[in-house]
Every structure is written in structure tokens, then in C-alpha cells.
């Protein structure tokens, strides 16, 4: 009898949570490499849609990588949809390739741009949405800029770099290991000129190894400030003051490049969208702490921008 009562209570709780859900969830396949999750708010005819593009590395639709689970992009999507905005977030193509044990060694940065462009076209063809906005996080900011041009109704850069990625890497290396800074600058200069090299310190292999040099060359061929100048749509630029990877000055560079854009700096928000009160150790640990909520100010800023 006791077990029966517990079962009934669990069922009631489950039903209660289901009734509280304000959106429908649908899994979609856009192309052979792109799968994602669409969240649709209830009772809204032709809602605005936000397409969320993840940052660097094998990042999935939720903002996670192996051994780093924070669910930041899932929380962003859910928060926006609970405010009446449809969202689509997707696994980067490298995620599906890894799962299939079929990684394309010739993958280019432009492949990510083409994927984002295909997704925009897919939803535009549906004619089921009001306006379409692109939210690009970190590396996804530049991807989103390039894909959004002449296609989207608005663009949101979230922790996106203003400098060329080569210059950003040199700065990061110099901060962590000053003695390697000059070597990083030398290698970056070669790659910017389209020259491959095997002459680099082993410590920089993860950044400039031969298997990723062509990808990095392609990525370095774009300057975010030049791209954002070309966008004529409404633009929102967001950065946190505790972002360990992308500093506030990067957001300021993007703002300077497009004076019509709006800049929002969120106090204590870090790279994975959490608000951190403590030191860099707490900040770093939070990348694998999925129990944390993302910044409420972030949700409000994006919602207000899309609905304005």
C-alpha cells in the first residue's frame, strides 16, 4: 500500500511539472551534420525565433563538452522561451562526427558559417516565425555575424571577440606564459599569411598543431570589427566582467565598430553565463557546475532586445 501511495505521488508530481511547462520541445535534423532542439512557446502565433550558436571546441547544443557540463546554452534557450521567444540550439557538426567516429580532418571555420546559414534558411522557409535573431556565443559570435548578414532580423554577440582570433590567442598565451608570447606571435603571423609551419614550441601544439593549422588560417582570415560594420540590422553586444576568456574590451571594440549597436556589460557574469561572486578558482570550477543558474540580467537583456 505504501509503495502504491508513493507511486501515485510521483505521478502527480510529474503531471504537475508537465502542466507548468510553457513550451513544446521538438528534436530537428536540419542537415546530415546538424541536429538540434526547437522550443516553441505555447499559444503564440508566429513567435520570434532566436537561433543559438555555440562557441569553440566540440560544444553541443546545451553548451557542454566532454567533462565540462554547465548546460549554459540550454538554460539560455529555456529562459528565452519561457518569455515567449522560440529558440533553436544545435550541436556543432564536430559533435556528430565524434559520435560517429568520423571526424573530418579538413573541417574549416567556414563550415560552421555554412551550417548556421543553412539553419537560418531552414527556418525562413518555414514562414512560421515573426523575426529571426542570431545569438552567437564566443566563437559563435563571429560565425553568427557572417551567417546573419542579409538574412536575419537581428544579431546578438554574447562573449564574442572584437579582435582577430590570432591576436586574441597571442594575448591569452602571453598572460599565461609570457616567455611563449613571442613564439605565439611569430606562429600567428605565419598563419595569417597563409603559411603552414612545424616550427613551434610543443607547449603550443594544442593551438597550432598541423592538424588544425588550416582551420586556424581560415578563422584568422576574418576580423570581427570589419564584419560587424557591415551589419545593418539591430545588434546587441553582451559581455561579463568576470569572463576569463573574452574581456570586456573585446565587446567595446565591437561596439566602436558599429555605433548603432547596443552594449550591455553584466557585472560578475563569466564566460559560461554564470554570475560569480568569488575568485578565479570559483570561476573556473563553475564551467562544470550545471546546478548554477545563468545570469537573470542576461535573460532580461536579450528578451527586452528581441521584444523591443
**Integer Cα distance of 276 and 209 in angstroms:** 33
Q: Which of 203, 221, 239 is the last residue of a domain?
A: 221
Q: Which of 193, 221, 249 is the last residue of a domain?
A: 221
**Does 247 lie in the same domain as 120?**
yes
**Integer Cα distance of 88 and 38 in angstroms:** 4
What's the confidence (pLDDT) of residue 12? Answer: 42
**Does 197 lie in the same domain as 103?**
no
Strands 23-29 and 86-90: unpaired
Look up residue 203 and give its DSSP letter.
G
What's the confidence (pLDDT) of residue 115? Answer: 97
What's the confidence (pLDDT) of residue 104? Answer: 86
Q: Is 8 inside any structural domain?
A: no
**Does 276 lie in the same domain as 175?**
no
What's the confidence (pLDDT) of residue 10? Answer: 47
H-assigned helices in 104-177: 109-126, 139-148, 165-176
**Integer Cα distance of 19 and 262 in angstroms:** 37
Q: Is 12 inside any structural domain?
A: no
CA angle 207, 210, 211 (to 5 degrees): 85
Low-confidence ranges of the chain (pLDDT < 50): 1-2, 4-18
Q: Give phi and psi for 133, each to the nearest 5.
A: -115, 145
Q: Is 180 inside any structural domain?
A: yes
Record the cell numbers describing residue 142, joined without a space.
563571429
Q: Is 5 inside any structural domain?
A: no
What's the confidence (pLDDT) of residue 21? Answer: 84
Look up residue 268 and give its DSSP letter.
T
Q: Which of 221, 239, 261 is the last residue of a domain?
A: 221
**Does 290 lie in the same domain as 185?**
no
**Does 169 lie in the same domain as 126?**
no
**Integer Cα distance of 299 and 101 in angstroms:** 36
Domain count, the chain: 2
What's the confidence (pLDDT) of residue 105? Answer: 84
Helix 165-176 vs helix 213-220: crossing angle, to nearest 10: 120
Q: Is 3 inside any structural domain?
A: no
Q: Is 185 inside any structural domain?
A: yes
- R_g over Cα of the chain: 20
**Integer Cα distance of 73 and 84 in angstroms:** 17
Q: Is 2 inside any structural domain?
A: no
Strands 154-158 and 35-41: unpaired
**Does 295 lie in the same domain as 153?**
yes
Q: What is the CATH number of the domain that holds 114?
A: 3.40.50.1820
Residues 274 and 72: beta-carbon distance below 8 Å: yes
**Does 232 lie in the same domain as 216?**
no
**Integer Cα distance of 187 and 157 in angstroms:** 28
**Does 236 lie in the same domain as 117?**
yes
**Does 180 lie in the same domain as 237?**
no
Sheet holding 132-137, edge to edge: 23-29, 35-41, 86-90, 49-53, 132-137, 154-158, 235-240, 262-266
Q: Give phi and psi for 62, each to the nearest 5.
A: -90, -5
Instruction: State the residue range of the domain holding 118.
Output: 23-163+223-307
pLDDT 10s digits, 254-299? 999 999 999 999 999 999 999 999 999 999 999 999 999 999 999 9
What's the confidence (pLDDT) of residue 99? Answer: 86
**Does 124 lie in the same domain as 88?**
yes
- Listed residue (133, 123, 52, 115) closest to 89, CA to CA: 52
pTM exceeds 0.85: yes
**Does 85 lie in the same domain as 61?**
yes
**Does 246 lie in the same domain as 115?**
yes
Locus of grid cell 528578451: 303
Q: Is 86 inside any structural domain?
A: yes
- As to burial, measured by CB atoms within 10 angstroms (0-12 exposed, 13-18 middle, 19+ buried), residue 195 is exposed
Amino acid at each position: 500500500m505504501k509503495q502504491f501511495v508513493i507511486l501515485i505521488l510521483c505521478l502527480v508530481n510529474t503531471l504537475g511539472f508537465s502542466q507548468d511547462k510553457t513550451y513544446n520541445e521538438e528534436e530537428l535534423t536540419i542537415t546530415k551534420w546538424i541536429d538540434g532542439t526547437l522550443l516553441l512557446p505555447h499559444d503564440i502565433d508566429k513567435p520570434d525565433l532566436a537561433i543559438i550558436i555555440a562557441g569553440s571546441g566540440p560544444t553541443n547544443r546545451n553548451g557542454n563538452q566532454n567533462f565540462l557540463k554547465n548546460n549554459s546554452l540550454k538554460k539560455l534557450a529555456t529562459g528565452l522561451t519561457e518569455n515567449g521567444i522560440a529558440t533553436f540550439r544545435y550541436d556543432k557538426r564536430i559533435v556528430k562526427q565524434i559520435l560517429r567516429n568520423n571526424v573530418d580532418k579538413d573541417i574549416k571555420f567556414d563550415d560552421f558559417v555554412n551550417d548556421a546559414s543553412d539553419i537560418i534558411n531552414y527556418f525562413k522557409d518555414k514562414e512560421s516565425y515573426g523575426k529571426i535573431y542570431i545569438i552567437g556565443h564566443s566563437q559563435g559570435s563571429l560565425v553568427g555575424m557572417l551567417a546573419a548578414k542579409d538574412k536575419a532580423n537581428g544579431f546578438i554577440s554574447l562573449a564574442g571577440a572584437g579582435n582577430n582570433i590570432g591576436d586574441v590567442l597571442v594575448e591569452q598565451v602571453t598572460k599565461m606564459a609570457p616567455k611563449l608570447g613571442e613564439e605565439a606571435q611569430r606562429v600567428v603571423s605565419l598563419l595569417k599569411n597563409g603559411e603552414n609551419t612545424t616550427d613551434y614550441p610543443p607547449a603550443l601544439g594544442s593551438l597550432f598543431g598541423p592538424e588544425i593549422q588550416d582551420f586556424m588560417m581560415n578563422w584568422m582570415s576574418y576580423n570581427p570589427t570589419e564584419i560587424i560594420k557591415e551589419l545593418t540590422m539591430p545588434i546587441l553586444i553582451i559581455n561579463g566582467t568576470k569572463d576569463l576568456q573574452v574581456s570586456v574590451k573585446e565587446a567595446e571594440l565591437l561596439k566602436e565598430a558599429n555605433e548603432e549597436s547596443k552594449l550591455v556589460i553584466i557585472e560578475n557574469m563569466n564566460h559560461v553565463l554564470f554570475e560569480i561572486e568569488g575568485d578565479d578558482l570559483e570561476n573556473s570550477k563553475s564551467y562544470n557546475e550545471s546546478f548554477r543558474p545563468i545570469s537573470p540580467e542576461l535573460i532580461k537583456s536579450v528578451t527586452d532586445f528581441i521584444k523591443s
